[in-house]
């Protein structure tokens, strides 16, 4: 089992404090969902975990199996097993999707232990079939001219091929129609298991109808203010966030 542990994390953007002490612990074999109103710092948390340079960690810790993630460069974080949907460049001129994927997989492997071309192609074919992706998506240039839905599906393809220990999926459901949402969910559910944990950030409970989370957290004003099981997401869908604000005495 691996653990991603965030303790009292404070993050500022351009000198303004956005995260004000986030505590969160995720194990492999668990799917956590973070919900919360707009602008409460959910995406900031995702970016801080992945080491986006604009997000300054002013205090607190992020540890992956006891290793200090904050000391790692972005590529080291990926190598250590963290994956953020959208962490990869939106377009790379002249690099096909398949080439990109193969080098991303090999970047996590030691020299001399690269994935064989045959194995790569077999896995790529099978995964694209599962995600109901058109074959020619593999040979197209990365993200060039991909529709919104194709990009999202491609992010799940990347995740499934790279096989991270922890995936951070920020609004993976946004802009997907119901059929695409089901397919993307199928891919994420297929990853569930011993060697994999996920943090799904979403506005809507809809995604959680297809991927049942083990834990649900509510983020408000830069903190995780409430945690519960899948039923918490249902209550939020039905009743919104006001009852939590009242319970905790939070003012808008």
Applying CB under 5 A, which part among 43-51, 53-61, 189-197, 233-241 lies near Mg ion? 43-51
Question: Footprint of ligand ADP on this chain (CB under 6 A)?
Answer: 13-14, 18, 36, 38-44, 54
Length of the chain: 252
Give me the sheet containing 31-35, strands edge to edge: 82-84, 166-170, 197-201, 31-35, 215-220, 223-228
Which positions from 11 through 40 interact with Mg ion, judged by CB under 5 A? Answer: 38
> Mask: binding to Mg ion, 141-180, rule CB under 5 A, as x and -?
----------------------------------------
Strand bridging mode 223-228 / 215-220: antiparallel
Nearer to ligand ADP, 44 or 185 (CB): 44
Nearer to ligand ADP, 44 or 97 (CB): 44
CB of 125 to Mg ion, least distance (A): 33
Q: Rounded to an integer, what distance in angstroms lies between the CA atom of residue 6 and that of residue 8?
A: 7
The one of ligand ADP, Mg ion, none whose footprint includes residue 13, by CB under 5 to 8 A per kind, is: ligand ADP
CB of 9 to ligand ADP, least distance (A): 13
The correct pick among 28, 40, 43, 97 for binding Mg ion (CB under 5 A) is 43
Q: Rounded to an integer, what distance in angstroms lies between the CA atom of residue 91 and that of residue 166?
A: 24
Nearer to Mg ion, 21 or 37 (CB): 37
Nearer to ligand ADP, 89 or 193 (CB): 89
The one of Mg ion, ligand ADP, none whose footprint includes residue 250, by CB under 5 to 8 A per kind, is: none
Q: Rounded to an integer, what distance in angstroms lies between the CA atom of residue 133 and that of residue 249?
A: 47
Decide: 85 and 168 in contact? Cβ < 8 Å: yes
CB of 14 to ligand ADP, least distance (A): 6
CB of 41 to ligand ADP, least distance (A): 4
Nearer to Mg ion, 139 or 174 (CB): 174
CB of 42 to Mg ion, least distance (A): 5
- Determine if residue 202 is left, alpha or beta; phi over 0 gives left, psi from -120 to 50 gives alpha, anything else beta: beta
Give how many residues touch Mg ion by CB under 5 A: 3
Nearer to ligand ADP, 14 or 231 (CB): 14
Q: Which residues contact 2 (CB under 8 A, 6 or more apart)?
A: 27, 28, 64, 65, 81, 165, 166, 195, 197
Q: Which residues contact 18 (CB under 8 A, 6 or more apart)?
A: 11, 12, 41, 44, 55, 222
Nearer to ligand ADP, 39 or 89 (CB): 39
Residues that bind Mg ion (CB under 5 A): 38, 42-43
């Amino acid at each position: 089992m691996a653990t991603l542990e965030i303790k009292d994390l404070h993050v500022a953007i351009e000198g303004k404090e956005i995260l004000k002490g986030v505590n969160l612990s995720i194990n492999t074999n668990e799917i956590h969902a973070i919900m919360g109103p707009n602008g409460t710092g959910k995406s900031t948390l995702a970016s801080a975990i992945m080491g986006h340079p604009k997000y300054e960690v002013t205090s607190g810790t992020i540890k992956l199996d006891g290793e200090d993630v904050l000391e790692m460069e972005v590529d080291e974080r990926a190598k250590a097993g963290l994956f953020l949907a959208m962490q990869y460049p939106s377009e790379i001129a002249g690099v096909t999707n398949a080439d990109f994927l193969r080098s991303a997989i090999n970047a996590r492997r030691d020299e001399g232990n690269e994935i064989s071309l045959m194995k790569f192609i077999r896995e790529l074919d099978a995964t694209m079939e599962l995600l109901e992706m058109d074959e020619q998506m593999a040979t197209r240039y990365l993200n060039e001219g991909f529709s919104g839905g194709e990009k999202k599906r491609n992010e799940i393809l990347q995740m499934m091929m790279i096989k991270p220990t922890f995936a951070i999926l920020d609004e993976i459901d946004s802009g997907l129609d119901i059929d695409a949402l089901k397919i993307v969910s199928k891919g994420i559910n297929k990853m569930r298991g011993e060697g994999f944990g996920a943090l799904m950030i979403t506005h809507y409970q809809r995604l959680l109808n297809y991927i049942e989370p083990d834990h649900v957290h509510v983020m408000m004003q830069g903190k995780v203010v409430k945690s519960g099981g899948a039923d918490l997401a249902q209550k939020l869908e039905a009743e919104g966030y006001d009852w939590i604000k009242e319970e905790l005495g939070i003012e808008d």
